[in-house]
Structure 1
Amino acid sequence: MAKDRLETDVARMINVERRHNDNTNINDGNTADCESLMDQEKDENLIWTDFDRICKSRKEIDPKAAAILEVRSYLAEDLISRKENPLEWWKARAAIYHHLAKLAQQYLCIVATSVPSERIFSKAGQLISERRSRLKGENDKIILFLHYN
Structure 2
Amino acid sequence: MDLQRLEKLNELREKGILTEQEYAEQKQKILDQPSHGLTEFVMQTNHYSMLMHLAQLCVFILPLLGWVVPLVMWLARNEDSTIDRHGKVIFNWILSVVLYGFIALLLTVIIIGFPMLLALVICSIAFTVLGAIKAKEGVIANYPLSIRFFRVDASESE
TM-score (norm 1): 0.28
TM-score (norm 2): 0.27
Higher RCO (CA 8 Å, separation ≥ 6 residues): 1
**Structure with the greater alpha carbon radius of gyration:** 1
